[in-house]
Amino acid sequence: MSFDGKEILLTGGSGGLGGLISRLLTAEGGRVTVLDRAEPVGATGFLRQDLSTPEGIEAAAAAVAARDWDIVINLAGIQHFGPLERQSPAHLMASYLVNLVAPVRLTQAVLPKMKARKSGQIVNVGSIFGSINFAHFVTYSSAKAGLRGFSQALRRELSETGIAVTYVAPRAVRTALNSPAVMEFAKLTHMNMDAPQAIAERIVAAIRTRKRDVYFGFPETLFVRLNALFPGLVDRALSANDRKAAQLFVS
């Protein structure tokens, strides 16, 4: 598929990974509109919206529903690393709103016009954490698991509409989303972290070929399959990492 002349909505396009994806799509002729709180550099258009509140999501949904989109990429995300009880109630709510509720609501808003044209593509950028649910990433992991389930259910619902649904699950990416504590955890546990440019290129390739489900990284992709079949085995494999993470929060 060519991106030339395509109207593309990209949430979270002002961040490191989002900026790279935006530039790659624009370089191939795509007309990228970024939806974010901060204005990006180099995008064709910009919608200033805040997806961390119900009111912000509804305002964003109204803005995107008014236009025709060929591709919608739900990339925006936030993360809490640490014991669940240490996450503030406000950040907990925002985690589910940004990571799960906003992609579902924005997709709902753009579907009528896509269905009328019998074409379009919804791209949900999840995480390996949505299939291997990590301790100390409880809200992030569970929200991404919900996004994975939403993508699968939506694909089945849209099977005869001409609308493609792509779910992309990178492993950890070296971006500003990771706090210093996450970086320390990655060092302690030898967590694999990919360069943003490589992941941006793979995400764009998955969109171009209208892939269904794409998981990045080994051995993480193997763990995805093992966790689906033998979650107890993965529990034991990750227990040492969980203990190392817990040490970071002893006070």
Q: Which of 111, 78, 75 is nearest to 94 (CA)?
A: 78
> Which residue reads 């990571």 in tokens?
99
Q: Do 121 and 167 touch, CB atoms closer than 8 A? A: no
Annotated catalytic residue, options 140, 167, 211, 215: 140
Q: Do 153 and 165 touch, CB atoms closer than 8 A? A: no
**Active-site annotation holds for 140:** yes
Percent helix, strand and coil across the chain, each rounded to 5? 50, 15, 35
Rg of the chain over CA atoms, in angstroms? 18
Q: Which of 222, 227, 236 is nearest to 192 (CA)?
A: 222
> Which residue reads 């236009």 in tokens?
67
Annotated catalytic residue, options 96, 113, 144, 211: 144
Supply the DSSP symbol for 41.
S
**Active-site annotation holds for 96:** no
Render 58-123 in DSSP notation, one character per residue.
HHHHHHHHTS--SEEEE-------S-GGGS-HHHHHHHHIIIIIHHHHHHHHHHHHHHHHT-EEEE
| Angle, alpha carbons 212-215-218 (nearest 5°) | 155
Residues annotated as catalytic (active site), given as ranges:
140, 144
